[in-house]
Structure 1
Amino acid sequence: MSELYYPDWQIRRVLRDTDVIAMVGASTSWNRPSYFAMKYLQEKGYQVIPVNPRAAGKTLLGEEVYASLKDIPVAIDMVDIFQRSDRVPPIVDEAIEVGTKVIWMQLTVRHDEAAKKAEDAGMTVVMDRCPKIEFGRLTGE
């Protein structure tokens, strides 16, 4: 596997051009990293829509939880994946189907074949990074 490199300008552009984030694997448990990331990104002005089939229909941090990307009734700019790497391909397939612009795989999450498929579909892909951490790093927080 080659080393991943994303120039700061690319990360800034993604974060600047994103309004709606679908967080696949969002947890209703306050002590999970996805919960912290969702709360932080909401505080920074993003609409973060949680996707978790086990919690579908519930409310998480003021947002309805959906079972899948296809169930979300608004356009999604970014899909933030809080899942194991082996679960990424079907998420990317669904993101392509709904017309997402960005696939963002969280820390330790990487799937080169799914990334290529997303890029071939015209999406921007970021792997093994956290948008919460990158936002803070790039804004000096």
Structure 2
Amino acid sequence: MEKRFADDDVIKRLLHEAQTWAFVGLSDNPERTAYDQARLLQARGKRIIPVHPAAETVLGETGYSSLAEVPEKVDVFAVYRRSELAGESVDEAIAIGAGAVWLPLGVIDEAAAQRAADAGLDVVMDRCPGVEWALRRGL
């Protein structure tokens, strides 16, 4: 993986400055990693938006079945899908003009990350927001 998809400055900036995080794959299942990460960011003052075909309300936030349905600006689009499905979600983030995409641990799609970078989005790949937050306790 190219280092620029794990750039420390980008990670710090997104964790510190990005306020609205949409989570594709976020359902009301506390056993899932997306739920844990969304809850962690919400506890740190971030607005989370669930994006899942079921469009469930999660952690008190209205869910949407697609990113295109979200009626507000999204700073970071976190893709909690299998690697082979991530590219479709990244393309959706590009289409709506999201500021960044974050592919968590184990979700790797170099081609999709490159498309997002080429479109001007910040890209973080194969990193966990919770782990990165813990590494930067000063945020």
Which band: TM-score by shorter chain?
over 0.9
Bigger mean CA deviation after superposition, 21-30 or 5-14: 5-14
* Higher RCO (C-alpha under 8 Å, 6+ residues apart): 2
Partner of 1:49: 49
CA RMSD of aligned residues (A): 1.6
Partner of 2:121: 123
User: Is this contact kept in 2: 1:4–1:127, CA < 8 A?
Assistant: no
Partner of 2:102: 104
Partner of 1:13: 13
Per the alignment, in what secondary structure is the counterpart of residue 10 of structure 2? helix
User: Is this contact kept in 1: 2:10–2:122, CA < 8 A?
Assistant: no
Q: Percent identity, please.
A: 40
Question: Offset of 1:10 from its aligned partner?
Answer: 2.5
- TM-score scaled by structure 2? 0.92
Task: Give unpaired runs (5+ residues) of structure 2.
Answer: none
Amino acid at match of 2:28: T
Amino acid at match of 2:59: L
Task: Give unpaired runs (5+ residues) of structure 1.
Answer: none
Q: Distance in 2 between matches of 1:27 and 1:71?
A: 16
1:114 to 95, 112, 115: 112
Question: Offset of 1:20 from its aligned partner?
Answer: 0.3
Partner of 2:70: 72
Q: Distance in 1 between matches of 2:7 and 2:118?
A: 20
Aligned length: 138
Question: Offset of 1:47 from its aligned partner?
Answer: 0.4
Amino acid at match of 2:52: N
Question: Offset of 1:31 from its aligned partner?
Answer: 1.6
Question: Offset of 1:3 from its aligned partner?
Answer: 5.4
Q: For each residue in 1:21-75, what CA deviation from the matched residue of structure 2 results, as whole angstroms up to 9, or x when unmatched?
A: 000011211121111111111000100101110x21x311000111000000110
2:81 to 80, 83, 87: 83
Per the alignment, in what secondary structure is the counterpart of residue 23 of structure 2? strand
